[in-house]
Structure 1
Amino acid sequence: MIAETLSQNLVTYDAGVDRVENSVARGLMLAKQVQPGLFASGYDLKYLVDVRLEVEETPSIFCGVLISGDDGELDISGYGSLTLPRSCPIVMGFGGGARCIGNCRAGTHCAGAGFRLYPSFFESIRDEEEGVQLEPLRAMLTDAFMLRWLPPSARLIELARLSLGNPYVGALSRLFLQGCALAFIAETARLLAEHDSDDDAPSHGLSEVEYERVMALTKIIDDSIVDPPSLAQMGRSAGINTTTLTRQFRQVHGVTIFEYIRNRRLELARDLLRSRPMQVSQVGYLVGFGNPAAFATAYRRRYGFPPSCEKVAAGRI
């Protein structure tokens, strides 16, 4: 149903990402097989109407992380509902299949990425040591349904962002996407092995109150990303000193508040450069950079090329 609902009027990018432009949602979708049994998946969508999404899961493993937007709600038939908070990676094993239902509200925006593995992926592994190290992942298929939360991981968040922001075209884009997916698998297997426990709660080292406080602050930042409150204002709003606030924010997101704001601005700029007929300098000012030189420098450091290259690439779409 997701494909039937969202895949109308898709424009396929050479980087392997599809742009959704219809009456239901707008943004980007990623669902590409990068090698047998391994799919890279992701989305960066704004929903224009209320949407009910249903997926009939076949035996597979899904791992992903929500990197922006409101917390997600997912109902898994026979196993109840769960909330998908930002920055906390989740691994779900559907050994027996299941029906997953999500409800997306009009006006909301969210983005996330990860991978999906099918049994054939593990069947193709011939290296014994590699098979042993991937066993924590393969074990997710040994029951009808298994759920594991992973601790916040800056590496997984960065890989999710890179998957959605693939800077290459043609064969290089496919290689890049495959590399991101395989790196996502490796890091997930490592985290599963290190944090092997039966505790289903997010393991970010904060109390529930502290975590909710950080997420409330994150929403304030996301809603005012062009002109966010100062660190002092954030501390007063949260009722704690700025040192504690900064430390707890990094525990949840894996980056400092300043880095988070800069990254979100650059992501917004990239989307504008790819989708709107605007000058590079105009985009920089629009997302909150004080001058074009600072914008170009920050963009190059994050993506490896200047923002002007996005305009050139957009002309090839």
Structure 2
Amino acid sequence: MITSRSNMKPTYQDVTGISKSAQKCASATSSSNVLQNSLPYEFDFTSYKVSDCISVLSLDIHANCDSLYSSQVDQSLVCLVLLAGSPVTLHAPGRPAVLLEHKHPVIINFADGDSLELWLKAGTRCTLGGISLCPDVMKSQPWLTFADELAPLTNFCAQPHHLMKLPPSSRLVNLANETLSREYDGFLKQIYLESYVLSFVVEIIHLMQRTASQSAGPNSKHLGKAIAAREILDSDIANPPTARELSQRVGVNITTLRIHFRMAFHKSISAYVHDQRLARARDMLRTSTMPIADVSYSVGYTNAAAFATAYRKHFGYPPSQEVIAFQGDVSTGER
């Protein structure tokens, strides 16, 4: 059961030093193994400003009970990698939830006022490391604009609300761990962190190039068809057309549509429908007072139990926890 939400909102771009926060869990119920008045989590968050546009990040967090860590983020490009501990579910508005796994960096293009959320299970302890780049970094760091090899990063920066999970990288983990263990001061620290950021960015671009080479994108004609198909699905996600009907509506054969839809959006048509239904259900659970069963029906599920199972599998917790976290009450019927 999610019992608390942090009201501490460190800003990744501007906060320096270490922020510490601990809140009390809500009173435990008879069915909960969470002790009353225990602390939901404790964390150390550090953001060291290397320059006006670049920060080095670290977060060490320990959850004493199931809880939600939430941080407000300025407009920035953030890359995080799990250095140690248990995998955690990461979510940012407008993007699918992603499991943050050891060595797998996640890169996120945040808009101003976005938030980053980590869903933590009781006993979870994890350490994250990474960097944050503000929108003006291309102007302040000329080396980011000179080479064609840097195009994957610059193109990513041009896509609002974009998120990408990259292949595993022991090099990034080693870089981040070494940086956290170094204790340089003054100008030496500044030089060291600048070299760290440069190495980190180079490795990120290398991973993005590997990802792109492993899956060539669709040509512009087929990309347009894939986008048109997605728009049709989004217009009625609860009652989407079949793949064959969809291909007929956009004017391309079903095999071609399936291939280029996956190339464009990195998932099958059915997986896209599944993920969008659950994403919309999540938004409704957070912002409306509809019963959970009604929410499940409104996004296309005909069975509330099947919806609850799919929701738990996708997000790592049941829909009732979403309601508790954001509205403080729950019912599968009326609420």
For the Cα contact (< 8 Å) 1:95–1:142, is it kept in 2?
Answer: no
CA displacement at 1:174 relative to structure 2: 3.0
Distance 1:101 1:64, change over 3 A: closer
Q: 1:72 aligns with which of 88, 92, 97?
A: 88
User: Paired residue for 1:29?
Assistant: 45
Asked if residue 41 in structure 1 is aligned to residue 60 in structure 2, the reply is no
Asked if residue 18 in structure 1 is aligned to residue 22 in structure 2, the reply is no
User: Paired residue for 1:177?
Assistant: 193
Work out the CA distance in 2 between the residues paired with 1:187 and 1:104: 28
Work out the CA distance in 1 between the residues paired with 2:145 and 2:160: 27
Gapped runs of 5+ residues in structure 2? Answer: 23-38, 216-262, 268-335
Per the normalisation by structure 2, the TM-score is 0.49
User: Paired residue for 2:106?
Assistant: 90
Work out the CA distance in 1 between the residues paired with 2:52 and 2:69: 26
User: Paired residue for 2:78?
Assistant: 62
What is the identity, as a one-letter code, of the residue corresponding to 2:151?
Answer: E
Asked if residue 4 in structure 1 is aligned to residue 4 in structure 2, the reply is no
User: Paired residue for 1:190?
Assistant: 206
Work out the CA distance in 1 between the residues paired with 2:176 and 2:197: 9
Distance 1:73 1:139, change over 3 A: same
CA displacement at 1:29 relative to structure 2: 2.7
User: Paired residue for 1:116?
Assistant: 132
1:36 aligns to what SS in structure 2? coil
Asked if residue 104 in structure 1 is aligned to residue 108 in structure 2, the reply is no
Identity among equivalent positions (%) equals: 23
For residues 10-31 of structure 1, give each alpha carbon's deviation from its aligned partner in whole angstroms, at most 9, with x where no partner exists: xxxxxx8637485665564321
Q: Which aligned pairs between 1:120-139 and structure 2 lie closer than 5 A?
A: 120-127=136-143, 130-139=146-155
User: Paired residue for 1:141?
Assistant: 157
1:187 aligns to what SS in structure 2? helix
Distance 1:131 1:150, change over 3 A: same
CA displacement at 1:127 relative to structure 2: 4.7
User: Paired residue for 1:205?
Assistant: none
Work out the CA distance in 1 between the residues paired with 2:211 and 2:187: 36
Count of residues paired in the alignment: 194
Distance 1:129 1:38, change over 3 A: closer
User: Paired residue for 2:167?
Assistant: 151
1:4 aligns to what SS in structure 2? coil
What is the identity, as a one-letter code, of the residue corresponding to 1:84?
Answer: L
User: Paired residue for 1:267?
Assistant: none
More off after superposition, 152-161 vs 186-195: 186-195
For the Cα contact (< 8 Å) 1:59–1:141, is it kept in 2?
Answer: no
User: Rg: which structure is higher?
Assistant: 2
**Structure 1 vs Structure 2 CA RMSD:** 3.3
More off after superposition, 111-120 vs 137-146: 137-146
For residues 107-160 of structure 1, give each alpha carbon's deviation from its aligned partner in whole angstroms, at most 9, with x where no partner exists: 321012111111111122335863533321121122222222222112111011
Work out the CA distance in 2 between the residues paired with 1:24 and 1:163: 28
Distance 1:129 1:19, change over 3 A: closer
- Compare the two structures and name the one with the higher strand fraction: 1
Work out the CA distance in 2 between the residues paired with 1:29 and 1:21: 9
Distance 1:47 1:169, change over 3 A: farther
Work out the CA distance in 2 between the residues paired with 1:101 and 1:129: 31
Gapped runs of 5+ residues in structure 1? Answer: 8-15, 202-317
